[in-house]
Structure 1
Amino acid sequence: MKRFAFVAATAVLGLAALAACGSGDGTTTPAAAPQSQSSTTPNPSAAPKLATADVANFGKVVVDGNGRTLYVFDTDTTSPSKSNCDGECAALWPPVKAGTAAPQLDGVDASLVGTVTRTDGSKQLTLAGAPLYQYATDTQPGDGKGQGVLGTWWVVGADGKKITTAPAAGDTGNSGY
């Protein structure tokens, strides 16, 4: 019964995220919701960090300076880079802020790292042109709960390519999927 309740709650959360991640008219709206407290760069002038770590059964994926798994979104574009996650979507999927200093890199090729200007004017880090995000439900380093959400959110490898490996059954970092 607990598993059914969890799956049902996950489905409701997923539907809410789907509704939040697009206005339906092809436009985006400025982010109005505050960013997650565990934002990648709490100090806007601080240099963000991108590194790699083994997460679940996905292999080496890109993480932030706190070890939180980073994701890419299928509806974003890479050439040119454009984020299509604003407002409520960005509250659930906080963008990785660029800061004003060059990012610190560990295991990530500097030639693949860039930035994109979001609709609210803030700068977001990109990898191989893809805007990078956290998932608000990932609370600890190594969590990968956002993998495959709505079939559009994916962990990302150091090469900037999305990893579509399904979470392992019983994986506590990815349960419910």
Structure 2
Amino acid sequence: MKRLSSLVGVVGVAVLGLSGLTACGGDDSSSSSGSGSSSSAPASQPAAAGAKLATADISGLGNVVVDGNGRTVYVFDKDVSGKSTCEGGCLDKWPVVAAGDGTPQLTGIDASLVSTVTRSDGSKQLAINGLPLYLFASDSQAGEAKGQAVGGVWWVVGADGKKITTQPSGSGNGNGY
């Protein structure tokens, strides 16, 4: 009898474990299955949560806004408040800071400064003081700000939401995009 109840216990645990794995597998496959779809809704699934913005001290620039991975964010002088003008090839060097679907998670930034703008393709981009936010593709890790003053039109953003126009020392500015 002891042997039978031990067997029933083991089978019960195995069934519960498999059902838990199946539930997790279903959640994963539904969130990743949209990658090949032409629908715009599944394409935004990976950014289901709200984006994250925080602040970090960047050498020579002070306390600046960074994304959830600690990468420096930038604003573009050619953008108009509430509208992005960086399109096409510009986006290869200056990817947008996607807004995601939820409320942005902010650390060290006044929530009243943060909003979203709708891009020409319908996607949502985070903005600060109405100016769309971007990353610089050549910033390969947290703490870098290689995009500062590129072309005289790309700028890091301070925790107060204002662009910082400090010129980097000893680096060429190249063209803006």
**C-alpha displacement at 1:50, in angstroms?**
0.4
Whole-angstrom distance in 1 between the partners of 2:151 and 2:70: 24
Distance change (3 Å), C-alpha of 1:66 and 1:85:
same
Match of 2:71 in 1: 68
Match of 1:105 in 2: 106
Whole-angstrom distance in 2 between the partners of 1:110 and 1:137: 28
Whole-angstrom distance in 1 between the partners of 2:121 and 2:92: 13
Aligned residues: 130
1:1-177 pair list within 5 angstroms: 43-78=46-81, 81-169=82-170, 175-177=171-173
Q: Does the Cα contact within 8 Å between 1:50 and 1:104 map onto a contact in 2?
A: yes
Per-residue CA distance 1:8-67 (angstroms, 9 max, x = gap) = xxxxxxxxxxxxxxxxxxxxxxxxxxxxxxxxx992212211000011200000000100
Structure 1 segments unaligned to the other structure (5+ residues): 1-40, 170-174
Task: Find the residue that maps to 1:124 and give its secondary structure.
Answer: strand
Match of 1:15 in 2: none
Task: Find the residue that maps to 1:98 and give its secondary structure.
Answer: coil
**C-alpha displacement at 1:168, in angstroms?**
3.0
The percentage of aligned residue pairs carrying the same residue is: 62
Per-residue CA distance 1:105-148 (angstroms, 9 max, x = gap) = 00000011100000011000000101000000000101000000
Question: TM-score by structure 2 length?
Answer: 0.70
Superposed CA RMSD in Å reads: 1.5
Structure 2 segments unaligned to the other structure (5+ residues): 1-43
Larger Rg: 2
Whole-angstrom distance in 1 between the partners of 2:70 and 2:169: 20
Question: TM-score by structure 1 length?
Answer: 0.70
Whole-angstrom distance in 2 between the partners of 1:67 and 1:42: 22
Segments of 4+ moved more than 3 angstroms: none
